[in-house]
Structure 1
C-alpha cells in the first residue's frame, strides 16, 4: 500500500493527526498472544528477512483473531475472553507502533474477524455461538455497534467477503458446510442462501479459506481430516465446483488425528502453504495458474502447534508461530521453487496464534 495516496504526497493521517513522511518502504508484523494477553510488534527487514522487536502491546484479554482495514491504517483485534470486545488500533506507518482508538462489543467469542472491501463493516464468526455477525466501522476506522447476527450450524469458524464484495462466505466446521451469503454494502446486511455453496464430506471440519489472486479459485482447509480442497468459483454464474482434494499431512504422520489450522497464498498466487498442528508442520504446494491444482513441494517442521502463520506482502518471507511455543520462526520463500529455508527464531508471548503483516511506502519522517 502507498500511504502517500491517503492524503496526498508526503502526508498521512494517524489517529486524526497529519504526519509528514518521505518515501521508503517499511514492513511490520503483528503477533497476537492469547495467554499473555498482548500483541508482539516487529519490523521486518525485506533485504534479509530478519526481525527487530518494536513493542509489546497489552490488551487485557485473550487476543486471537486480527485483521487490517483495507487501507492498512487500522488493525482490529478480537478478544475471546469476557467481556467480548474488538479493539481498534491506529497503525503508525513511521515505526509500526499501535495506538488504541477504542473497543466495541462482539456478540460472542469470535474465532475470526475480517472486513468487507469498503472497510465500513467488520465480519466475525463464532465457533461456540454458532453464528456470524456484522459490526459497523465508522469513518474514523473505529469499530462500532453490532448491526446484525446470522445463525449458522454448529461451530462457525471463518468469514470473508468475496473479492467483488457481492457475497460473503463462511466455513461452518460442525455442519461441514461452506456458506454463501449475499452482502449489501449499502447497509451491511447479510442474507444467507438456502443451501450451502459447497457441502463437504461428513466430519471434514472446514476451517479457513483463501481466494486466489485471479479470483477463480478458493482454497479451503479442513480441521478434522487433514485435507485441503481446491474449489472453482464461477462468479458470473455464482457456482462452485470441486477441482481437487489433497492431504496436508506429512508422509510419516503418526498422530492420533489430523488437526489442520491455517493456509495462505503468496501474493503472486504461485505457492500455497498450510499448517497442521498435530505434527507441527507446514505443507508447501505449487499452484497451477491454469487449473488451480496443487502439487506438493515439501513438508517443513515449525513451531509447536502452529495455529497461525502469514506471508509478507513481497512474497519473500513466511512467519509462523505455535500456541505451545514462545518463539516465532522466519523462513525465506524460494521465488522459483516455493521451498522454505529457515532464517531465525524470535521470542513472542504465550499462546501465540495469529500473525498479520503490512507493508507501507513512505515511512521516514521528513
Structure 2
C-alpha cells in the first residue's frame, strides 16, 4: 500500500466515511437465559456521535448468541439454541436496511450441541458453524435468496488436552477461511490444536479435505482468530492461557512467531475471548473477560515482522466482555459486556490506537455478539 493511500485511509477514519444518504446498523445477538426472549436487537448507529437508537427487536427466540453478516449486508445469520442440551440451529434473515428490521428466511439444524461461531467464505457461498460442546463443525450452502440448505458436511473430532475441567474433549470454538479462500482453519479449544483443511467447493459432501494440525502449547485453549489484512500474518486468542499467539502465514500454513500476554495483570484463571485488527492493519485488539480483569488489550502491529507491541489496556466499563466490533469506518469500537448487560461505545484514535469511552452505552440483556454494516 502506498503512503498516499495510507494517508487517505487515515483521513477517512478521522473525518468520517458516511454520507447523509448512508445508514449504519448495529446488530446485537444475546443469550436469553435458555428460554425464549429478546434475542436480536437492531440499532441505527450515528457515526458522528457514537449514539445508537433502537429500530427492531426479535423476540421469542432462544440464545441467539453469535451473529454473522453477509459481506454485502443483505443477510444476517444467527446461531439459535446455543448452550442447550439438544441440537442447536442456524437461522438466516433478510435485512431491511431502510427500516432497520430483519425477517426470517429459514432455519437449519446445526448438526451438534452448542453452536458458538459462524463464518462465511470469501465468495459468500458457504457458511461454517462451530459446535462447541460436542466438538464438531458443519458446512452449509447459502442459497441465492440468502437462505441455507441443510448442512452438506458434518465433521466431529475426538481429542483432549491438559486442563481436564475444560479440555477433556474437543471443543470447536471458531473457524477462519484463509486469505486466498483455499483453506479453512478450525480452532479446537479442547485439544489445543488449529486444524487446517484444504477446501474443495466443488465437492457435494466433502468440502473439508486433507486435515493437518497445528499444535498449540498445552493448556492454551485457542478460541478466536484473525488474519492480518495484508494476508501475511494470523493471530489467535487463547482463552485458557490469556495469550495472543502470532503466526506468519506462509506456504498455506501458520508458523509460530511469538506469544504475548493479553491481560494487563497475571491471574490464576483466564477467559480471553475475542480478537480483531483495525482495517488499516496497524492495531490489534483483544477482549479479556474476567474473572478478575475486564479489559480490551491494545497492541500495535509491525507490518513487516508481524510482531506486537503493547499500547495499553482499557477497562470495558462492564463485566465479561465476550465480543466486540470495530465500526465500518474504524473510528469506534463497541464492546458487549455480557454479565453487566451493556454495550459500551469507545471512540478510537486511529493514529495511536487508543480508546476513549463515550457517555452513550446501550442497555441490552446479556449481549454476546455484535455486527455492523453501513448501507447506501
With the length of structure 1 as denominator, give the TM-score of the two structures: 0.87
- What do residues 117-149 of structure 1 show as CA deviations (whole Å, max 9, x unaligned)? 222211011111111111121111111201101
Contact 1:127 1:155 in 2 (8 A): yes
1:259 matched residue in structure 2: 271
Contact 2:30 2:66 in 1 (8 A): no
1:69 matched residue in structure 2: 70
- Provide the C-alpha distance between the structure 1 equivalents of 2:68 and 2:211, rounded to a whole number of angstroms: 29
Contact 1:169 1:178 in 2 (8 A): yes
Aligned length: 335
Aligned to 2:21, the other structure's residue is in SS state coil
Gaps in structure 1 of 5+ consecutive residues = 1-21
2:258 matched residue in structure 1: 244
Q: 2:332 aligns with which of 314, 317, 330?
A: 317
2:4 matched residue in structure 1: none
2:221 matched residue in structure 1: 205
Q: 2:93 aligns with which of 89, 94, 98?
A: 89
Contact 2:299 2:308 in 1 (8 A): yes
1:52 matched residue in structure 2: 53
- Provide the C-alpha distance between the structure 2 equivalents of 1:274 and 1:359, rounded to a whole number of angstroms: 23
Bigger relative contact order (CA 8 A; separation at least 6): 1
Residues 239-248 or 334-343, more deviating: 239-248
CA RMSD of aligned residues (A): 1.7
Matched ranges for 1:177-188 at <5 A: 177-187=193-203
CA gap 1:207/1:192 in 2 versus in 1, 3 angstroms: farther
- Provide the C-alpha distance between the structure 2 equivalents of 1:193 and 1:180, rounded to a whole number of angstroms: 8
- What do residues 300-355 of structure 1 show as CA deviations (whole Å, max 9, x unaligned)? 11120011111011110000011201111000010110000001343443221111
2:299 matched residue in structure 1: 285
Contact 2:87 2:111 in 1 (8 A): no
Task: Note the C-alpha offset of 1:194.
Answer: 4.4
1:38 matched residue in structure 2: 39
Contact 1:328 1:345 in 2 (8 A): no
Contact 2:121 2:181 in 1 (8 A): yes
Task: Note the C-alpha offset of 1:51.
Answer: 1.5
Task: Note the C-alpha offset of 1:202.
Answer: 0.5
- Provide the C-alpha distance between the structure 2 equivalents of 1:227 and 1:23, rounded to a whole number of angstroms: 42
1:17 matched residue in structure 2: none
CA gap 1:187/1:120 in 2 versus in 1, 3 angstroms: farther
CA gap 1:301/1:23 in 2 versus in 1, 3 angstroms: closer
2:182 matched residue in structure 1: 166
